[in-house]
Chain A
Amino acid sequence: MKETSLNCCCQTDIFHTFLVNGAYGVIVALEFVELPDPEHNRIGTPMFLQNLFKSFRPKMMLMAGLLVYVGVNLSINNVDWALILLVMMLCGITMVQNDYFDRNNDKKKGKFFASENQKKLLIFLTIFWTLLVIMVLLTQQHQIMFLAGILICF
């Protein structure tokens, strides 16, 4: 009777070791196999675009645009839509950049978009910032150059 129980215990141990090693083997194998991105992280899918749009914080962009518009209303200048648009873009891209920098910490809040799309976001940020700087230079907005300068230094 005693022998049977010992045998049973050994069998359980062997099974357990097999399971643990098996799981470890799977984990090791996964590190060498580059799995394709899941559906929601593929560029161009509605889910990816939706998450990217959310990263821009459209509400904050609208608020920033409204703030500039209020400033325009108070000044003697004419409404400068290029200035409003550029400030909105600067606000949006700064929000995305903030998400990129906080990607590891944001995981604790349940936000995985930036951490799962690290490389894509970095490429996107580089392209977007370059385009924005070109736009600023083309529009010859001295005020926006000043703000962009502060933001870049920041």
Chain B
Amino acid sequence: MRAAVRTYGKLVASGFRQESHYRLAAFAGLVANVTFGFLKAAILFAAVRASGGHLQGYDVGSMSAYVWLSQGMLGMVNLYGSHELGERIRTGDIAVDFARPVDIQGAYLARFMGGRTFTLIPRGLPSVAVGALTVGMAMPATVTPYALGVVSVLLGTAVSFACVYAIHVLGFWLVETRGLQLLYMVVSGFFAGLFVPLPLFPAWLYDAAYATPFPSVMMTPINVLSGQLTGLAAWHAVVVQVVWLAGILLVGRLLTNAGLRKLEVQGG
């Protein structure tokens, strides 16, 4: 047990270190996040003002919190995933991963969590700071939303990983998963509440979004952190995240095992 914790701890640290070497990439990500943030803020603030200062539970302050938390979380949850696993399945390098004495899904998850957590330093926190300093954000004044929010952000990141992993593992059957990845990027971003917060959706679309795991990736952590969800509702949302995470990790695992039986790699 202790050995396992140490192994995964080292994988998390290695993911963190690996990501920390791409400084220019991190800065570039920040520039993109902040630019999109200002555009999102402009149109969404205009929408709040056009409806008399209150729009589906948002005023300008809480809309600002939504905009800048969502921009800050983009690097962390990384909806677009990394293409590494899909590439390794396509090229057959995945066979090397299967030969290692650690669980594939666990190892990739650990490195993902490490790498993503690093992005908070150069991308996440500065994005939020830009928002807080330029337009101001309405944030809760008690400790609980932040503590539960951190848990929720970590869960959201893990759910994002679990989904992307499951998509990539389909490569055992499809070989080329790029079309599927594009489809995933579009649908996940939309239903995660990336460009428009979900409470603004018409009822039928709102229900459709919550039938998918994507709100758990981004909208839930934002709602918990910003105090849109409090008390029992916040705890309930976090439990929903846990359930999605467990379910999708399990699907990914079953697909991996089935794929392993099908995998054929040439050469030695």
Do these two chains really belong together in a complex?
A: no
Interface residues of A (CB under 8 A from B): none
B residues engaging A (CB < 8 A)? none
